[in-house]
């Protein structure tokens, strides 16, 4: 286990795992309040770069784009001095490029300025397209793999926008989902406006929140205004979505047309993160938090919960995780899966700890401790 810095991780258990996963190379990017840490697993052994990239910058978003001839990493940095920016790397994070002009900027007529980039999402069906979600809540589209972006105006000018209210962490567009079957289909989530979707490439947008409760509003079932924390897409059924709300875990079987409560069996339905298994249908992961007024792991226990039947039941995954009282909150983008077989599952927390599973979540090991607050994690097979 790591102490106050990142180091190599390799022991007998990991070597045994290597026999299962072969010599697949997985890259793990950990965005923190004070820099980006990058780890690489070859076989069963993890190695982390000696020091963080973007030292002292908050890294709110990371993407690992494996669609081209060589992978491209994207990072949304936020410098207290220089402000927010989007950087890219074509050598697995060893060197980084910042465009000469800001990659993401608000046009002057919007009278808005960029606070941060919450999300970077390589489009599922368009090889060079990358979407960015920002604060103030807006969607941007890039057609050159994230080197420059254009504002998607119909969502920015949506007639409901004047009634959107920032959540506790700001008014951020934090989720972007695209569909391998149809590049015109895009789903986004905004805190605290809820889920919106388009079927015409962004020319028009409609709320998609039916069935999702807003317990903090006088009308708990509004058309929009829900505090959606994260949305993930099922691996086998692209119409099936999983949603972690500010109170409530939900599933939709029609791309967000209607949501069903699937929180029964969880110790708490409050939380921030949800991730889907990369290959197995009906399988998703959440990390329950005690309450909005008590933002620590549910029952103060470090547990990931997994469903294998689309939310009809949940099982706690604890093997290898701390068993004593635990206070590490997992934020909305700090839980992810990779595309290995078996799947890797990862999460980081505000204690600065990072945990990884190489067997679909059945067992875990700690990769890091005493990092700055972990804001996001992303992992992918890169070789």
Q: With residue 118 as reference, give the H or E element that holds it.
A: strand 116-122
Percent of the chain residues topping a pLDDT of 70: 94
Q: What does the H/E/C string look like for 193-215?
A: CEEEEECCCCCCCEECCCCCCCC
Longest dimension (CA), the chain: 60
Say whether pLDDT at 13 is over 60.
no
Lowest mean pLDDT among 3-12, 73-82, 191-200, 270-279: 3-12
Tokens coding 216: 């903090």
Q: What gap in Å lies between CA 305 and CA 315, rounded to an integer? A: 5
pLDDT score for 5: 46
Q: With residue 20 as reference, give the H or E element that holds it.
A: helix 12-21
Q: What gap in Å lies between CA 194 and CA 245, rounded to an integer? A: 9
What residues contact 210, with CB distance under 8 A and at least 6 apart?
257, 258, 259
Which is nearest to 173 in space by CA: 124, 141, 132? 132
Say whether pLDDT at 6 is over 90.
no
257 by Cβ neighbours in 10 Å (0-12 / 13-18 / 19+) ranks as middle
Q: With residue 18 as reference, give the H or E element that holds it.
A: helix 12-21
Q: What does the H/E/C string look like for 332-379?
A: CECEEECCCCCCCEEEECCCCCEEEECCCCCCCEEEECCCCCEEEEEE
Cα of first residue to Cα of last residue in the chain, in angstroms, is: 25
Per the listing, tokens 């970077």 go with: 120
Q: How confident is the model at residue 50 (pLDDT cuts 50, 70, 90)?
A: confident
pLDDT score for 244: 98
pLDDT score for 23: 65
pLDDT score for 17: 40
Whole-model pTM: value is 0.94
Q: How many CB atoms lie within 10 A of CB 108?
A: 7
168 by Cβ neighbours in 10 Å (0-12 / 13-18 / 19+) ranks as exposed
Cα 104-174-184 angle, rounded to 5 deg: 75
Question: For 27-35, what is the mean pLDDT?
Answer: 98
Lowest mean pLDDT among 4-8, 297-301, 373-377: 4-8
Which is nearest to 164 in space by CA: 184, 188, 198? 188
Say whether pLDDT at 303 is over 90.
yes
Q: What are the distances in angstroms from CA 247 to CA 220, 226, 270, 311, 319?
A: 12, 10, 4, 15, 26
pLDDT score for 124: 96
pLDDT score for 68: 86
Ramachandran angles phi, psi of 232, nearest 5°: -135, 155
Q: What are the distances in angstroms from CA 309 to CA 31, 195, 262, 277, 355?
A: 31, 23, 10, 12, 24
Which is nearest to 381 in space by CA: 65, 47, 19? 65
Fill in the DSSP letter of residue 16: H
DSSP assignments along 170-187, one per residue: BSEEEEEEEETTEEEEEE
Question: For 236-245, what is the mean pLDDT?
Answer: 98
Tokens coding 111: 């009278």
Cα 114-116-121 angle, rounded to 5 deg: 110
- What mean pLDDT value characterizes the chain? 94
């Amino acid at each position: 286990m790591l102490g106050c810095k990142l180091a190599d991780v390799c022991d007998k258990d990991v070597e045994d795992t290597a026999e299962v996963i072969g010599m697949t190379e997985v890259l793990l990017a950990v965005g923190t309040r004070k820099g980006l840490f990058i780890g690489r697993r070859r076989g069963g052994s993890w190695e982390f770069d000696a020091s963080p990239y973007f030292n002292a910058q908050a890294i709110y978003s990371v993407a690992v784009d494996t669609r081209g001839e060589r992978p491209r990493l994207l990072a949304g940095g936020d410098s207290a001095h220089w402000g927010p920016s989007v950087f890219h790397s074509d050598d697995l994070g060893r060197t980084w490029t910042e465009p000469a002009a800001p990659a993401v900027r608000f046009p002057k007529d919007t009278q808005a300025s960029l606070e941060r980039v919450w999300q970077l999402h390589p489009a599922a069906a368009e090889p060079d397209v990358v979407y960015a979600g920002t604060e103030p809540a807006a969607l941007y589209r890039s057609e050159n793999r994230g080197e420059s972006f254009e504002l998607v105006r119909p969502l920015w000018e949506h007639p409901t926008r004047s009634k959107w209210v920032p959540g506790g962490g700001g008014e951020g567009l934090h989720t972007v989902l695209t569909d391998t079957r149809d590049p015109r289909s895009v789903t986004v989530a905004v805190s605290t406006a809820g889920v919106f979707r388009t079927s015409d490439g962004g020319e028009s947008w409609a709320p998609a929140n039916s069935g999702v409760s807003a317990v903090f509003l006088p009308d708990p079932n509004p058309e929009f205004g829900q505090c959606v924390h994260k949305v993930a897409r099922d691996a086998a059924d692209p119409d099936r979505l999983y949603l972690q709300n500010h109170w409530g875990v939900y599933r939709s079987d029609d791309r967000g047309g209607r949501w069903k409560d699937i929180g029964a069996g969880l110790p708490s339905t409050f939380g921030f993160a949800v991730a889907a298994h990369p290959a197995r249908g009906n399988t998703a992961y959440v990390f329950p938090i005690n309450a909005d007024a008590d933002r620590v792991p549910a029952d103060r226990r470090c547990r990931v919960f997994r469903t294998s039947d689309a939310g009809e039941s949940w099982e706690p995954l604890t093997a290898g995780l701390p068993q004593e009282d635990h206070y590490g909150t997992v934020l909305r983008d700090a839980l992810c899966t990779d595309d290995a077989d078996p799947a890797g599952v990862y999460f980081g927390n505000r204690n600065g700890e990072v945990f990884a599973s190489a067997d679909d979540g059945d067992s875990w090991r700690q990769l890091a401790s005493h990092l700055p607050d972990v804001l996001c994690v992303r992992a992918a097979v890169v070789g």
